[in-house]
Structure 1
Amino acid sequence: MNVPEHSASDESSATPVENIDWGLAATVGKRVARPGPRITRYTSDQAYAELSDAAVRAEGPVREVTGLADGLAVPAAQILDRSGWIDAAARSMPAMLGPDDAATRQPEVRPHRPGFTGRIAGVQAGGLLAFLSSAILGQYDPFSLDPQTGEPGVLMLVAPNIIAVERQLRVDPSDFRLWVCLHEVTHRVQFSANPWLADYMRSNVGALTGEGDESVAELVTRITESVRSGKPREKGVIGLMQLLQSPEQYAAFERVLVLGTLLEGHADHVMDAVGPAQVPTVATIRAAFDQRRKAPRNPLQRLIRALIGMDAKMAQYVRGKAFVDHVVDRVGMDRFNTVWSSPETMPLMSEIDAPDDWIERVLG
């Protein structure tokens, strides 16, 4: 079947995600990504085998502590190098941002052919994927299809990055690999036990990234009026989002931020609850890893991390874990799990730092 050449009118009517050439993004990302640590074939094979086993072993303790996903199948994790993660991420992004069938497409095979701006965006996206490919230890992707089962949801572990961090921290490799798996498997359990979460995330990200009808003049007018009003705003990037986004977009942004905070905080809570019984050196690993999170970075790294929100993500672990710790300590895990019932039981932004307010509103 012949696909007509892309025209200017096609490009102007496309959604933002369709304007990104994800096939090119994957190619560029793999070309410019930094090589991983030097490892022998023996070390690589050992790490891949151990991570595969750890991802399965982590599932039981995580399910026991959370009370979630009992009886569901335990799919195998994908153990990837940096190039493999870039390919997977290039498939995942259109699956998350695009229509429901996007998960089944390869990034280079699509019904819409990006034009010049799409290729420029693809190069930019490729640079971002290259940067992230050396920072991601593991990831649960609820949108892409598992090639083995054909079902949505893929657990990915990036072996070179895990090896690099365990060497940097000088921690026991086997313990560290299981510790990482406990966190990532918790994400798999969260989404597997609560399938509505993926649609909730996709719909809010879609509202956040979709094209609006607001003109530049209207945007400038709204920002000016907001600044003149003197209404209190959040600090930093979140405050900037309040200015730049429409009220509807900012509401979606808050819901995405709260969901991410809950998911990460819950995973950190579970990791610490399970760790002492499963990971002999967990105290050493946790102390070293937390110190690594706080370590100073060069100016370029700080700029990139700020622009893509990685420092905000680090704050999510702390605030989210404090919320989960408090609620579970006060009402127990069974009643905490009410949070997964529906969008209405998700915490509000104001409740993340005031968990008793969530308890009163949702649990009564």
Structure 2
Amino acid sequence: MNFLRSVRVVADASATGTGNIDWDAVSEAARAATDPGTLDLSAAEREGYASDVRDARDRLAEVAEVSFDVPDVVEVQNRHHWIDANVRTFRRVMAPFEEHGPSVLPGVTRAVNTGTFALVLSFLGNNVLGQYDPLLLAEGDDDHGLYFVHPNIRRVADSLDVDYPRFRRWIAFHEVSHAAEFGAAPWLSTHLEKRMNRGIDALVEGDLDRDAFAELDTAMTSVEGYAELLMDRAFDEEYEDLRRKLDERRQGGGPIAKLARRALGLGLKRRQYERGARFFEYVADKRGIAAASRVWDHPENLPTDAELDAPERWIARVSP
């Protein structure tokens, strides 16, 4: 890692280029501040990742009674690889803001924004274990991606004192659960994109579309909660110790780590997991997983915000 180089790259962003964010500098600064970690995998480890994904796909399809496949792009990455992939994602999302150039102090604005995104990507790159990337707002025919950040998975398994192959397999089941959702609901990407675009367009105009963000939050709560349900029902080994230890780790850390989690909304993501999981557990216990999976038949089957806290209403409406 080279923090001095990272700071210098961000400072240089104020003097060169146009637009609100220097994305090349974001990538370079985030990488400079982040140890890439090793990708020196044995043949057994590589086969382990591949086997985990295949087994997760087969087991989840059986349990959920939905048809899907995993993305063609399945990558075991180091931290720099993950940063590069997500710079592209952030760049797509922030494009509407980029079209509105800074009105005052453009160099300062560009440097601050560049430094902020470099810090965010560096923090996440050091902590993300796996990711299903549905390529929201992407153009063209690029396939969705499934990423595993091997140095983080290995480090966290060691720090939690849990069996590394079992932990790696648990992460694979979670990420493939998201692939199952988007595979079962071809409309889901478009549904999320429309609400993202509405919310972002409003922000660009200096307004706040609360309905768009509320609908997005409700949909993402369903996405996270259903994945939790599938993972709990499909994972073929004991996992309670893994979840407990990982939750304890996420709640710990120093003040800077806690501040970063709050700033990035990671607490919100955890609440989405918990709220969505309670909804789908109730539905599955009352009607079975096949009934819970009906949420992906079409957009109208998504629970409303009120139904998330009263799943019996959703059952009466969608699966009586």
If the length of structure 2 is used for normalisation, what is the TM-score?
Answer: 0.82
* Inter-CA distance 212–96: structure 2 relative to 1 (3 Å threshold): closer
Q: Does 2:281 align with 1:325? A: yes
1:31-60 C-alpha deviation (Å, 9 max, x unpaired) = 112554xx69356x6544422332222111
Cα RMSD of the aligned pairs, angstroms, is: 3.1
**Whole-angstrom distance in 1 between the partners of 2:195 and 2:31:** 29
- List runs of 5+ in structure 2 lacking aligned partners: 1-17
**Whole-angstrom distance in 2 between the partners of 1:213 and 1:165:** 39
* Inter-CA distance 298–81: structure 2 relative to 1 (3 Å threshold): same
Indicate the residue corresponding to 1:286 in structure 2: 243
**Whole-angstrom distance in 2 between the partners of 1:187 and 1:180:** 11
Contact 1:21-1:122 at 8 Å conserved across structures: yes
Q: Does 2:100 align with 1:121? A: no
Q: Does 2:125 align with 1:133? A: yes
Residues 201-280 of structure 1 aligned to structure 2 (within 5 Å):
201-212=192-203, 246=208, 249-275=209-235, 278-279=236-237
- Counterpart of 1:143 in 2: which secondary structure? coil
**Whole-angstrom distance in 2 between the partners of 1:301 and 1:326:** 34
- Counterpart of 1:210 in 2: which secondary structure? helix
After TM superposition, give the deviation of residue 334 of structure 1 in Å: 2.0
Q: Select 2:301's aligned residue among 316, 340, 345.
A: 345
Indicate the residue corresponding to 1:159 in structure 2: 150
Indicate the residue corresponding to 1:303 in structure 2: 259
If the length of structure 1 is used for normalisation, what is the TM-score?
Answer: 0.72
Identity of aligned residues (%): 30
After TM superposition, give the deviation of residue 213 of structure 1 in Å: 7.7
* Inter-CA distance 23–312: structure 2 relative to 1 (3 Å threshold): same
- Tell me the amino acid that sits aligned with residue 29 of structure 2: V
After TM superposition, give the deviation of residue 357 of structure 1 in Å: 1.9
1:256-277 C-alpha deviation (Å, 9 max, x unpaired) = 21122111111111111112xx
- List runs of 5+ in structure 1 lacking aligned partners: 1-10, 12-17, 100-109, 216-244
4+ long deviations beyond 6 Å: 110-115
- Counterpart of 2:166 in 1: which secondary structure? helix
Contact 1:96-1:202 at 8 Å conserved across structures: no
1:303-359 C-alpha deviation (Å, 9 max, x unpaired) = 221111001111221111111110111122222222113332211122222211222
Q: Does 2:142 align with 1:143? A: no
- Counterpart of 2:131 in 1: which secondary structure? strand
* Inter-CA distance 112–254: structure 2 relative to 1 (3 Å threshold): closer
Indicate the residue corresponding to 2:190 in structure 1: 199
